[in-house]
Structure 1
Amino acid sequence: MTEINGHAGDFDSLPYVDRQLELEGMKEKVDLLIEQEMRRISRKDRVQLPKDITLFKDDPVLSSEWARTSKQKPMATLDISRYDVAPPAGKDKQSVEAWQAAVDNSKAQLESQTLRLFNLELLQKYGSNAWKVHNFQLEGQLKQLKYNVEEKKKEISELNKQRKFEQTEGGTTLRNLESKWSDLVSQTLQVEVACAALENELEELKRYENSLNN
């Protein structure tokens, strides 16, 4: 298993060179070994993600809404009392200030409704074109994303081709080295056998010499 920056990485693999997996039952053995190895790796080594993530810390409105939804609390109902146009009631009926406040509120509500109608007219007149422009921009972004995806696929394909080429070349080198290693081991064994035979022959000669001297 390789390590990157001190952390556990992916397992080494030479799929274009190693053919042992094609043997019957070998894949199951390899999968079992990998599973056992992964069990020995702590989750801390495999996943380097922060445990606590603070969202919307710079936006108090979104932060409060996030806290509310996290606790599954219902959203507060919209306060529409500010849109009421009601005359003074009770003792306020005789108050000039109360009637003046009611008139001011009526004017404000009338101005608000006028502004809403104006915005609706603008939306009706220019909204469709703005929406078309927005859709056109989204289509442009979609085309760019598709292009980026295709480029990444090409990069992956080229990387796989390069990996296959390098592994194939490396596999040839490995097989040549393995063949040389086998030849050297065989030669070493032959030399050891010859040395053992010479040692035995030398011992026989020494015993024969001793017998002649005696």
Structure 2
Amino acid sequence: MDTNERPDVLIDSLPYFDQEIDFDGMRAKVDKLVEQEMRKRPVSLKRDQTLHFPANFEFFKNSPVLATEYQRVQQGKPIAEMDINRYKLAEPENKEDQEAWNKAVDNSKAQLQHQNLRMFNLELLQKYGANAWRLHNYQLENELQQYQKTLEEYKQNILDLNKQRKAEQLQTGNKIEELNNKWTEMIGQTLQVEVACASLEVEVQQLKLYEQQLRASLGVNNEEKAAENENNQKEG
């Protein structure tokens, strides 16, 4: 990633270049620091999906059947068994009831039609099912190939991105190391200048002291000469 395109991004880690983690004891020290830092985090701030999930969220609001089933599961109720009474051909209990016989006959007709429909579907499946499944399998294989191709493209993009990141980090790391060496060299030169300045200051102080001593010595000599001249004049 080019930092010129994202000026707000601050790169403070170069994992492809920094090798300090491989030093003896460094990884254990880092893991210990991370563990200590994790212990300082409050329990309420730990990642918990339930804290970020809306409380008034309604599941399956567009599907009453799924909503009812979800409510049943939430309440822990057993699933209702399938009612198969409507598929039975039982005769009426009251054999003298004409209405009951009419319902039984209607039920038998419905069952017969249902069986005819099942046989018709089986015939269609036997005739066209194999080709339909072959076509479906072909479509699935085509989709699988597309997904595999997309996956390979993503893998290649990730590989290229990692190569680019590694090259940029190595280049940046070398530049940082070069600047660090230059900074160290300049610091050394600055220390040498400071030592030289301190040495010169000491030498200047010594020269000033020597100057004061010379001035004092010259002052005493001048006083002695003046006294000697006065004595000579008096004697003359």
TM-score bracket, shorter-length normalisation: 0.7 to 0.9
Q: 1:58 — aligned with what?
A: 62
- 1:176-187 residue pairs with structure 2 within 5 A? 176-187=178-189
Q: 2:166 — aligned with what?
A: 164
Q: 1:31 — aligned with what?
A: 31
Q: 2:81 — aligned with what?
A: 77
Q: Which segment drifts farther, 162-171 or 41-50? A: 41-50
Structure 2: distance between partners of 1:42 and 1:148: 42
Supply the AA of the counterpart residue of 1:193. Answer: V
* Larger Rg computed on CA atoms: 2
Structure 2: distance between partners of 1:71 and 1:142: 40
Q: 1:127 — aligned with what?
A: 129
1:22/1:51 CA distance change after superposition, 3 Å: same
Q: Which segment drifts farther, 159-168 or 55-64? A: 55-64
1:72/1:119 CA distance change after superposition, 3 Å: same
1:40/1:147 CA distance change after superposition, 3 Å: farther
Identity percentage of aligned residues = 51
- 1:41-120 residue pairs with structure 2 within 5 A? 47=47, 50-51=52-53, 55-90=59-94, 93-120=95-122
1:134/1:71 CA distance change after superposition, 3 Å: farther
Structure 1: distance between partners of 2:144 and 2:44: 37
1:47/1:153 CA distance change after superposition, 3 Å: farther
Note the alpha carbon deviations across 1:149-204, whole angstroms, 9 max, x for none: 11111111111111111112112211210111011101111111122222222333
Number of residues of Structure 1 aligned to a counterpart in Structure 2 = 202
Q: What TM-score, normalized to structure 1?
A: 0.80
Structure 2: distance between partners of 1:177 and 1:194: 25
Supply the AA of the counterpart residue of 2:183. Answer: W
Structure 2: distance between partners of 1:157 and 1:43: 38
Structure 2: distance between partners of 1:176 and 1:118: 83
Structure 2 residues without counterparts, runs of 5 or longer: 1-10, 217-236
Point out which structure has higher relative CO (alpha carbons under 8 A, 6+ apart). 2
Q: What TM-score, normalized to structure 2?
A: 0.73
